[in-house]
Amino acid sequence: MLLVLDVGNTNTVIGIYEEEKLLKHWRLMSVIRTADEIGIYLLNLLSVSSISPDRIRGAIISSVVPPLDSPLREGIRSYLGIDCLKVSSEMDLGLELRYASPHEVGADRLVNSVAGVARYGAPLIIVDFGTAITLDIISPDGAYLGGTIAPGLGAGMEVLFGKTAKLPKVSLEAPPSVIGNTTMASIQAGIMYGNAGLVDRLVEKTWEELGCHGKVVATGGQAQSIADLSRTIDLVDPWITLEGLRLIYLRNSTGRE
């Protein structure tokens, strides 16, 4: 079995693979913890899922939170007896990086792109709704070109509420009309329809620059909610990042899960 971990600024997604099958997955808050806390946490997750730690034969992590990297890898090593691979642009990704500074690309963006090309081919646009909204662009010949980064839905909402004393916090749900007839509905309309429009405009501009259309795949916490409002998103793949981690592990380890 293979342990995969995607560490984001807001959430950490953990998965367990047996061969090509994703057996278990969890979405947790990204909190700075000690190696012992992380190790015990992982053992508890395995225990409640009736998975013996001895069955975990490999581990790989993608992370955009450097302070968590060492505790995670140390906790996995100490409690599971496994040296955990860490995704970087220097690894064998099976993907050409046509980016000016490949080491600057977030590990999650690389992982999404690897899985995206494997599952959907090229050209391809992957939209990830996390702390930031990122678009990753795969060229018609299957190379990683780069993309865009915009504030995420949650981040934008926090800025709005932090700067306005009288506005209430709202859930990230689309109201039935873009013309909100209450303060809550007005905020929801601005955030949800506004971000759907942002994604659509970025996708359409990308198509113009590529000179062709391609499949648009969304992932991340609010992916389905925005996909329902978008005219360009073709499908939602909630676990594309975990699949990318599995594929990269297979290319960079002599072991097997």
242 in Cβ contact with 25 (< 8 Å): yes
To the query of whether residue 237 is one of the catalytic residues in this protein, the response is no
CB-based contacts of 59, cutoff 8 Å, min separation 6: 2, 3, 4, 5, 76, 80, 82, 83, 84, 85
Q: Of 36, 83, 92, 108, which is the active-site residue?
A: 108
Cα(31)–Cα(192) distance, integer angstroms: 27
- Of the candidates 5, 4, 11, which has an alpha carbon nearest to the alpha carbon of residue 222? 11
14 in Cβ contact with 26 (< 8 Å): yes
- Of the candidates 107, 201, 198, 218, which has an alpha carbon nearest to the alpha carbon of residue 155? 198
Peptide bond into 71 cis (omega under 30): no
CA–chain centroid gap for 221, Å, is 9
Cα(88)–Cα(98) distance, integer angstroms: 15
134 in Cβ contact with 109 (< 8 Å): yes
57 in Cβ contact with 82 (< 8 Å): yes
Cα(110)–Cα(31) distance, integer angstroms: 23
Q: What residues act catalytically?
A: 108
